[in-house]
Structure 1
């Protein structure tokens, strides 16, 4: 798959190098994943939608104009991803684009968060991204394709009460950077997408989480804006079209990269001030999985058999 550099100019669909190619999007049942699958399908790609919520996933796939498949798969299950990769190859052809988008988040104090729930966030967001890359790298090598890791501005500065999410997104960014150097000689390009406030169900209860609310309130007016999944999908599609190493959603985030050494101290200052106003009981009440997609993943995980028995809720 050939592209051009830059991410600011939107390529018209009729001229896009994406037409007729195959894309795989994980976490495609809702939110950014669903919106991106739709945008790539509109660009003429054959799209494989992967996710945990089979009914929701296949409903989204059924509404797309181009040939597609929906595959229920847990990104923490390597065998399931290997099967998914085989199905994609057999039904659509080898993947030209793979987007590691699946992600969940939990808010609340680390000490009050169940160990299994904290681990699940790491497993989905970080290990799941690596599993996705491992399963589809043979196809991407064959097509000289593009792997896009969905990261977050949570990697810029770690917020208290969001330790698992911030750690997983920082780790996913680091993984993608390392992978980029390894696969570049094979013609595979690795991009990292940095998402800011996005209007998915994951942030619908943002005002219930004191640190996130305080961080947003202390940002400049333009940085507080919540962008729709459709708008974010447009920015991601432009980055995919151009095989960009970095994709910023919104684009002004690119100017934050040189300032990243300052962010941890700034985040810590705001968080410290906010946490001083809350009792331990109030903070403990904020523990929970964010968003319907995260809750669906956690419920599925709890209901599945585990080698050491049922995990602690």
Structure 2
């Protein structure tokens, strides 16, 4: 399959301002996709769109704000002709012990990681169905293995996995549902942890083991460029040195 054989296909990527989202935008553009970059940090996605060139557009959007996603979907329809791929990548990993002090962060993870992905999918679903598309949900190893200190985060990722599996059955054969479950990937996720001890431990773990956002982006690009008859439904990707 030639790299340019997907020219004309349109991918919408949430959380496209950094990390896996940014890397996926680059990888899909290299494969001939046109990309709609969605994020809150409009300066970052505008710079990325300028760099990626024709067919890349930057749209300020917050996955916790349905109106902003509806407006984004309208722009994608008007300017790019609709979405063929939606990558639900926006997420936060605010790891900490489960205490009342962390209740705002617990809620934020549910609203961004789980409800945000559900809302984006609901808003773009008609576009994905139109001609057969791909829904790519970025989950985590934490969607399979819960551990002390990641209770609320694990809840969002286990939730995403169950929701994705039900959707896979509901949407086939029109839309492929692809779940990607990365382990430790060097992104900004760790920077946002506010619980001091947890942050220190996670930083040490990531420094010793993590792979790159590009590694995950290549896997996403591979999955969405398979013939439509082939579905890579669940892809668990750990750094080779990561144990759990």
TM-score range, shorter chain: 0.7 to 0.9
CA distance, structure 1, for counterparts of residue 235 and residue 111 of structure 2? 24
The question of whether the paired residues in 2 share the 8 Å contact of 1:160 and 1:211 is answered with no
CA distance, structure 2, for counterparts of residue 51 and residue 205 of structure 1? 16
The question of whether the paired residues in 1 share the 8 Å contact of 2:93 and 2:109 is answered with yes
Larger Rg: 1
Count matched residues: 237
The question of whether the paired residues in 2 share the 8 Å contact of 1:94 and 1:143 is answered with no
Please tell me whether residue 241 in structure 1 is matched to residue 211 in structure 2: no
SS of residue matched to 2:121: helix
* Aligned partner (choices 99, 112, 115) of residue 103 of structure 2: 115
CA distance, structure 1, for counterparts of residue 202 and residue 125 of structure 2? 39
Please tell me whether residue 196 in structure 1 is matched to residue 180 in structure 2: no
SS of residue matched to 1:244: coil
Cα distance, 1:125 vs structure 2: 0.2
Per-residue CA deviations over 1:153-201 (Å, capped at 9, x if unaligned) read 011211222222111111111111111111115x111110111110112
The question of whether the paired residues in 2 share the 8 Å contact of 1:57 and 1:70 is answered with yes
CA distance, structure 1, for counterparts of residue 136 and residue 239 of structure 2? 16
Mean Cα deviation higher: 106-115 or 91-100 = 106-115
Unmatched 5+ stretches in structure 2:
none
TM norm structure 1: 0.69
Unmatched 5+ stretches in structure 1:
1-10, 218-223, 253-262, 268-313
The question of whether the paired residues in 1 share the 8 Å contact of 2:190 and 2:202 is answered with no
Give the alignment's Cα RMSD to 1 decimal: 2.7
Match of 1:81 in 2: 69
Match of 1:299 in 2: none
The question of whether the paired residues in 1 share the 8 Å contact of 2:8 and 2:32 is answered with yes
Please tell me whether residue 124 in structure 1 is matched to residue 112 in structure 2: yes
Question: 1:145-184 counterparts in 2 under 5 A?
Answer: 145-184=133-172
Mean Cα deviation higher: 52-61 or 189-198 = 52-61
